[in-house]
Amino acid sequence: MLYYLFEIFETQYNLPGASLFNYLSFRAAVSVIISLIISVVFGKRIIEYLRKRQIGENVRKLGLEGEEKKSGTPTMGGLIIIIGTIIPVILMSNLDNIYIKILLISTVILGIIGFIDDYIKVFRKDKKGLKGKFKIAGQTILGIFVGIMLLISNDITIVEFSSINDINSIENFKSNEIKSFKTTIPFFKNNELDYALISIAIFNNENMLWLILIPIIIFIVTAVSNSNNLTDGLDGLSAGTSAIIVFTLGVFAWTSGNIIFSDYLNIMYIPRVGEITIFIASLLGSLVGFLWYNTYPASIFMGDTGSLTVGGLIAVISILIRKELMIPLLCGVFLIEALSVILQVAYFKITKRRLGIGKRIFLMSPIHHHYQKAGYHESKIVSRFWIIGIFLALLTILTLKIR
């Protein structure tokens, strides 16, 4: 909205300073500030409202130190993150941009899934929340939506240039925009995975691409969203780790959407994708603002409203900027958390079937609870996981040059 308003101020009234809104970096910075203010200022009011309505967490008895103190802590804090993200995006972004449209719709879909889950836990006193099959169904709908948009939208293209010098006119630029379903393979120079070629190899028909692309997107969205949900078990763990990941995706979105930097780094240039930076900046600001209340001891929990939404958005952003193959590295903390649960359950079932007694690899899963059982303080576990997240983020950024 402000984006369009200042565009009018610049073109019709020549208002001094109005041209600042043409700069992506300026709008991204303002978006971070707005989202921080919304999260911190209005977050306090939301917490007070949730306390008055007694919308608190029903903590399961797991035998963990300090768990009884968390009982009754307000949950559904993901509402702070969602509100703190959407408002700056509406104010500062170009709402005609196809990527912004996809992300806003994705936020709404994921937010609804998470809200229903929290609602069942809090108001119906069902600790299991929304059944897993319904969560998967909702995430599948989102994956299908994103896949269809990638397939049918003419605004989702890439530009292939051997050099920046190839661009000598707007006509030349537009003529080089192509509909492509390539994605970046990390650590390999000039080597990109083309989903269309996979379709040809399997089905001998490029028109069957949707049978390859959509299932992959569904898997990525479901895996990352639910992995973040598993990570959300200690104060500040999910929000802090997600903030690190989101910042890194912002670096990739900005470079991929900037033709000068994409040419310099010899990476895929994606027209119009730079506008995602505004959404990422808003999400980053809301996550950092949420940490104001979510760090130990937490005044509010993210809940599934937040963890499922943020995880799903990380997946969608990665897909849109063609960096989904970097998720195992960038989201390594999520991956470790999810694998710890998978290994724990699988090992227990195998040993019970073979030995009659189920055995465990970890003291408790997800793995952050293992370290709690081992005697580490919650804040120390979270801080060390953040450090691991930063390390993985730096490695991911280095893939821009290490190829």
pLDDT in tens, 390-401: 999 999 999 888
Tokens encoding 243: 């903030």
pLDDT of amino acid 261? 87
Separation of first and last alpha carbons in the chain = 41
- Whether pLDDT at 352 is above 80: yes
Mean pLDDT of 37-66: 78
- Each residue of 192-241: pLDDT tens digit? 889 998 999 898 888 899 999 999 999 999 999 999 999 998 999 999 99
Please identify which residue in the block is written with the tokens 């397939």.
151
Q: Which range has highest mean pLDDT (51-65, 121-135, 284-298)? A: 284-298
Residue 355: pLDDT band (50, 70, 90) is confident
Residue 166: pLDDT band (50, 70, 90) is low
- Each residue of 319-340: pLDDT tens digit? 999 999 999 999 999 999 999 9
Residues above pLDDT 70, as percent of the chain: 89
276, 194 contact by CB (below 8 A)? no
- Whether pLDDT at 68 is above 90: no
Q: Which amino acid is at 79?
A: L
- Whether pLDDT at 170 is above 50: no
Mean pLDDT of 93-115: 96
**How many angstroms separate the CA atoms of 279 and 321, rounded?**
13
Please identify which residue in the block is written with the tokens 């994103």.
146
pLDDT of amino acid 63? 60
In sequence order, the 6+-apart residues with CB closer than 8 A to the CB of 258 are 274
224, 311 contact by CB (below 8 A)? yes
Average pLDDT over all residues of the chain: 88
How many CA atoms are closer than 13 Å to the CA of 121, on its beta-carbon side?
24
**How many angstroms separate the CA atoms of 129 and 116, rounded?**
8
- Whether pLDDT at 135 is above 90: yes
Mean pLDDT of 282-305: 94
Helix axis angle, 303-320 relative to 237-256, nearest 10°?
20
- Phi, psi (degrees; rounded to nearest 5) at 58: -95, 95
Least confident of 49-63, 151-165, 267-281: 49-63
**How many angstroms separate the CA atoms of 179 and 158, rounded?**
7
User: How distant, in Å, are the alpha carbons of 63, 195, 372, 379 from that of 375?
Assistant: 12, 47, 5, 12
pLDDT of amino acid 268? 86
Please identify which residue in the block is written with the tokens 């610049």.
10
- Whether pLDDT at 173 is above 60: no
In sequence order, the 6+-apart residues with CB closer than 8 A to the CB of 212 are 195, 198, 199, 202
Mean pLDDT of 271-286: 96
In 129-242, which ranges are E strands? 158-159, 177-178, 182-184, 192-194
Higher pLDDT, 128 or 3: 128
Higher pLDDT, 8 or 30: 30
6, 23 contact by CB (below 8 A)? no
Least confident of 13-22, 276-285, 289-298: 13-22
- Whether pLDDT at 251 is above 90: yes
Residue 304: pLDDT band (50, 70, 90) is very high
Least confident of 132-136, 183-187, 248-252: 183-187
**How many angstroms separate the CA atoms of 199 and 209, rounded?**
5
- Each residue of 178-190: pLDDT tens digit? 888 999 888 877 7
